[in-house]
Homo-oligomer: A and B are copies of this chain.
Amino acid sequence: VTRALSIGLLGLGTVGRHVYRLLGDGETIAGRAGGPLEIRRIVVADLGKDRGGAAPRHLLSDDPHAVVQAPDIDIVVEVMGGLDPAGRAIRDALAAGKPVVTANKQLMASSGGELLALAERSGVDLCFEGSVGAGIPLIKPIRESLAGARLRAVTGILNGTTNFILTRMAVEGRTYADALAEAQRLGFAEADPTEDLDGRDSAAKLAILASAAFNVNLRVGDVFREGIERITLKDLAYARELGFAIKLLAIARTVGEEVEARVHPALLPLDHPLAQVADEFNAVHVESEDLGPVVFTGRGAGGAPTAAAVVGDIIDVARNLRLGVGGRSRAAAPRAPRIRPMEEVVLPYYISLQLTDRPGVFARVATVFGEEAVSIASIVQKSRGEVADAVFVTHDAAERGVRRVLERLRSLDVVKALVNSVRVEATV
């Protein structure tokens, strides 16, 4: 009989309960993990809280440090979330030579490189598939299955809340506020959705994905970030008229020796695979030298899907542990990436203005673009009496030049308002 491997489960929230439930199907799991697994300790913040029998009381503890250090714990599974005490517990576990499975986006995005190096030194696994895209397989396919392809870019819709809002605005003509309220009603947005709306959630996930794709240590702070708060129904309508959807994209791309990493709303051609990704769905589009585009799509959030990813990692770790090959997943040490400054990033821009509607105005605006060497690809203009809406899409231009254009337009007397400016992602 193969000895059961013991798990210390840190956290019994939504994800933790689903992990507990999935591991309860002992026979199936044992078959896949090469032998039985047993949850021996569960760490919760408040021992007194009523958990409605989610797990037996005698397994509960409120001391992560003690559980992680306990000699009878083989694998540490962290699903508490947040930087601390989760980070402390994971460092303790790795230092004690115990493999760790975590779904902690925030921690991996800020300290992934350091934790992976610690795991490497201790010769143990650190797996984090659940930290991005919940149940959509991303980290392992990108690190392992695509290891034979030379990856150039990962472009993702990594946040379900903002994608739901933008989809409902575009499809049903709902306002931003109305679509957000609907997302909250359906449970796709949290009570405080700030981190989703301002792109912080996507930026953290992008840091994790890009680090895996390019074998670098990219941190969330390296990611340029802009949220969807300024996108209006008018922008969505003009974008569609020009053949584009608007999505909150997370983009990481190698350009020579540098890495571009940015999260912002972007116009995306309607025939781009990501333009079809609707509502709360997430998707990641991978470009490489050797393959055509590969796209992974699915629901990117939720307790059960995240737990399934965590259990997949647990199975992997358990098999490595039985085979005595902890730390198998690492190969070359990641490099520190040279981040391309946002001012040097080159892409087309959508610029929406309100102009005084009289002769010569258009020429003055066009002159500003020309003088800054930003060339115009398409224009939509609509007179509304006193004023006219004018929407420009530029050709590829360095961000620096576009910023100068925007600056100069703002001070032109014929420009009544610089309504919005949104980047365009045209590479399919």
Contacts and interface: CB of A to CB of B under 8 A. Distances in A.
Given A32-B331, A141-B140, A290-B135, A149 B308 contact: yes
Interface stretch (A195-203, A299-307, A345-353): A299-307
A22 B291 contact: no
Quickly give the copy total for this chain: 2
Which are the 8 A-B pairs with shortest beta-carbon distances? Answer: A148-B311, A31-B332, A137-B145, A292-B299, A135-B291, A148-B312, A294-B298, A149-B308
Contact of A295 (B215, B296, B315, B325): B296
Given A140-B144, A331-B33, A290 B308 contact: yes
A310 B290 CA distance: 12
A325 B302 CA distance: 35
A317 to B, nearest CB: 12
A273 interface: yes
A286 B297 CA distance: 10
Interface string A88-122: 00000000000000000000000000000000000
Nearest to A140: B145
Given A22-B148, A32-B332, A135 B294 contact: yes
B147 A312 contact: yes
Contact of A292 (B34, B145, B305, B315): B305
Most chain B beta-carbon contacts within 10 A, residue among A22, A31, A331: A331
Interface string A309-332: 111111110010001110010011
B135 A141 contact: no
A274 to B, nearest CB: 11
A297 B33 CA distance: 28
A147 B291 contact: no
Contacts of A215: 31
Contacts of A324: 325
Interface string A325-344: 10010011000000000000
